[in-house]
Copies of this chain bind each other. A is one copy, B any other.
Amino acid sequence: MNTLRLPRVIEETVEKIRSREIHGSTLAALKALEALEIAIEALRVDSSEEAVKAIKAFCKALYRARPTNIMLMNFLRHVVRTVERFGETSVDEIKSTVKLEITQLRDNVEKSLERIGIIGSRRLPKKATILTHSMSSTVYEILSRALKDGKELSVVVTESRPDFEGRLMASRLLRLGIPVTLTVDSAVRYFIKDVDLVLLGAEAVAANGAVVNKVGTSLVALAAHEARVRVYVAAGTYKFSPETMIGMPIRIEYRDPEVVLPSEERRRYGLEEVNVRTPIYDVTPPEYIDLLITERGVFPPQAAILILRESYGWPHMGLELGLDDL
């Protein structure tokens, strides 16, 4: 399989996701589907076997770009299972079926985001100061909808080192007309007492209701818990990780040290020997989360297993054998 040349659209998308040029998990998953669709459209092969093989190769490449992105993983697994189900059929049949599935996945995301926006907005008070951390499309959707619903909002955004996604979030909210206060990540406990609600996105949700999200999220949730400020996490159920049902941990990657401490600064401070280690995500335990907001409704994090159970059934041991083993 390694002899297969990947189409350029796949290669470019993989690179953009890997380098974090595309930040958010929802965006990354959608871009991957888009690239997959284009690649399949352009696919020229002679047999259905070759088609299946190629599509699986595309999926594998996209998956490897960011294996921590559960939404991407769930989508790609769905595609792989779709193609694996084909028996004798034509290449065109495969292409059109898979493209239909992809279209549906993307539609579902769109509809889910809209539903989460509506449901989430209902949970916001009429007038509220909300704290959010890093950048999240789902949080943006709720705030945007709440504004339309006539809610009077102001938002505190953390800058979110090392990538400063908070600046992007602040910028998008400002464009909606929401007043934004930007601060450093470590000022969260200082501000939390003036905040009515913490609203966060998620990279992944585990079987026990724990949430994987941008590093610092668990600290924000802890400070909110201490101050008895409610913490809502908004995430489509496609971000729930079925692997965690059978004990597979979600992998946490480290950020490129150069981003955290540029060589120039390293030299200036005489820090050649220093060990720079910055996890990209951290894990927020369920006891610090008051509510999960999904397109299927709201529920306590301990009910995450119910969603997983209904979406994926009780797990088989082989469940995880989806993408790593292609």
Interface residues of A (CB under 8 A from B): 115, 118-123, 158-162, 164, 167-168, 170-171, 174-175, 179-190, 193, 207-209, 215-216, 218-219, 222-223, 226-228, 244-249, 260-261, 265, 269-271, 273-279, 282, 286, 290-291, 293, 296-300, 302-303, 305-306, 309, 314-315, 317
Contacts and interface: CB of A to CB of B under 8 A. Distances in A.
Q: Which of A222, A226, A303, A315 has the most CB of B within 10 A?
A: A303
Contacts of A305: 297, 299-300, 303, 306
A246 B128 CA distance: 20
A134 B295 CA distance: 38
Nearest to A302: B302
A190 B215 contact: yes
A257 to B, nearest CB: 9
A227 B120 CA distance: 24
A219 B228 contact: no
A171 B219 CA distance: 26
Contact of A181 (B187, B208, B275): B275
A180 B273 CA distance: 8
Contacts of A159: 161, 260-261
A293 B248 CA distance: 12
B193 A270 contact: no
Q: Which 8 A-B pairs have the closest CB atoms?
A: A186-B216, A122-B247, A245-B297, A185-B186, A302-B302, A119-B247, A299-B305, A161-B184
A300 B299 CA distance: 14
Contact of A273 (B160, B164, B174, B314): B174
A87 to B, nearest CB: 31
B222 A275 contact: no
A154 to B, nearest CB: 9
A174 B208 contact: no
A109 B183 CA distance: 35
B260 A184 contact: yes
B209 A187 contact: no
Contacts of A245: 297-299
Contacts of A293: 247
A123 B247 contact: yes
Given A184-B278, A186-B219, A297 B119 contact: no
B228 A171 contact: no
A246 B228 CA distance: 23
B161 A122 contact: no
